[in-house]
Amino acid sequence: MTAVSARIREIREKAALSQADFGTALGFTSAKISRVERGETEPDNALLVAIREKFGASTDWILTGEEGGGPATFPPGYVPIRAKMQELVDILLSGEISRIADEEARYGAQRARRIPLHDIEGEQPIPWEGDSVAKTAVMIEAPPGVDDPRAFAGRLADDSMAPEFQPGDILFFSPAAEIHDADYACVRIDDKSTFRQVFIEDDVIRLVPANRKYAELRLARGQVNGMFRLVWRMTRC
């Protein structure tokens, strides 16, 4: 064994690799590595360059033991910086990072948006962004998919819609959502709000509770100040 072959062997052992794995990492056969380490053959330029690029040991150090470019201390599985940079370039070119960043930005913006929360059947008017009431309202995080900027939430205050809806359920409403017959909606009447199933019959609007101990309301369209369709439900646990 020569001094050169000993230093190559030291590089391999510092990296905790067998001759076969060391050769695979460098692109050479284990037989070639074995001959070089035994001193039977001198390392050629291709092998020296591969060792330098893969394991960080300078060619001068391998050949002379000088210049401080000592043996590799990288753990098994080490990937040279050049390969890592190429991998990043490939990912950038594929557009994958941009796609992930866009998704994270959309998710973050959605999760960060907060909307007003009031009790339904409470004493305050229904608030939404822009109303003076909304500025002092309790705020709650909007769930995914509720992206109407005027959306608001209501906490059900009674059992009028039991058993399907329970007191304490948090319901999300969108002023932008179109109301259809038999939809569930928050209905504004004067300065009150109520949550009912809505049936529209010509000029009459029926507000039907699920709990039959509460009375059905029949109102002319002019008596209703606003109807906002249920778009999301958070059931009380």
- 136-156: pLDDT as tens digits: 457 888 887 788 888 889 888
Cα of 29 vs its chain's centroid, Å? 45
With 0-12 / 13-18 / 19 or more C-beta atoms within 10 angstroms meaning exposed / middle / buried, residue 116 is: buried
Higher-scoring residue by pLDDT: 188, 73: 188
The pLDDT value recorded for residue 111 is 54
pLDDT score of 231 more than 80: yes
- 159-168: pLDDT as tens digits: 999 999 998 8
The pLDDT value recorded for residue 133 is 46
Pairing relation of β-strands 152-156 and 114-120? parallel
pLDDT score of 109 more than 60: no
Dump the DSSP string for 154-196. Answer: EEE-SSTTTTTS-TT-EEEEETTSPP-TT-EEEEEETTEEEEE
The pLDDT value recorded for residue 196 is 94
DSSP state of 76: T
- 173-226: pLDDT as tens digits: 999 999 999 999 999 887 788 899 999 988 899 999 999 999 999 999 889 988
The pLDDT value recorded for residue 181 is 93
E runs forming strands in 18-174: 114-120, 138-141, 152-156, 170-174
- 6-54: pLDDT as tens digits: 888 888 888 888 899 888 888 899 899 899 898 888 888 888 888 888 8
pLDDT score of 91 more than 90: no
pLDDT score of 108 more than 60: no
Distance CA 155, CA 195 (A): 10
Cα of 200 vs its chain's centroid, Å? 41
pLDDT score of 135 more than 80: no
Of 232, 235, 233, 225, which Cα lies nearest the Cα of 147? 232
Distance CA 12, CA 82 (A): 20
The pLDDT value recorded for residue 218 is 94
**Residues 6+ away with beta carbon under 8 Å from 135:** none
Handedness of CA 46, 51, 53, 56 (dihedral sign): negative
The pLDDT value recorded for residue 129 is 44
Domains and CATH numbers, the chain: 3-79 (1.10.260.40), 113-234 (2.10.109.10)
Higher-scoring residue by pLDDT: 235, 191: 235
Distance CA 73, CA 186 (A): 68
The pLDDT value recorded for residue 55 is 84
The pLDDT value recorded for residue 195 is 92
Amino acid at 102: D
